[in-house]
Amino acid sequence: MVIKILGSGCKNCVTLKENTELALKETGVEAEIIKVTDFKDIMAYGVMSTPALVIDEKVVSFGKVLKPKEIAKILENLK
């Protein structure tokens, strides 16, 4: 599984990455986390507001910082 955090590297983007790491630990799911900061790449996903969370090339959230439990729920649904 590949998880991408889309954003400029702002505080919200950092928090989303940390929350994603906590959710992965909580669920036992193994994934590679990639930070995407290039706006051209972010726009390619059709995302207009960051931070955004992309799992296996599917945008699952944008414009808000998900809590670890919310991310864990998304991960469980993708299994």
Q: What is the value of pTM for the model shown?
A: 0.94
Residue with tokens 């726009």: 43
Tokens read off for 4: 């991408």
Which residues are tagged catalytic? 10, 13
Handedness of CA 13, 44, 33, 38 (dihedral sign): negative
Pairing mode of beta strands 2-6, 32-36: parallel
pLDDT at 79: 72
pLDDT in tens, 8-63: 989 999 999 999 999 999 999 999 999 999 999 999 999 989 999 999 999 999 99
Which burial class, exposed, middle or buried, applies to 50 when counting CB atoms under 10 A from its CB (0-12, 13-18, 19+)?
buried
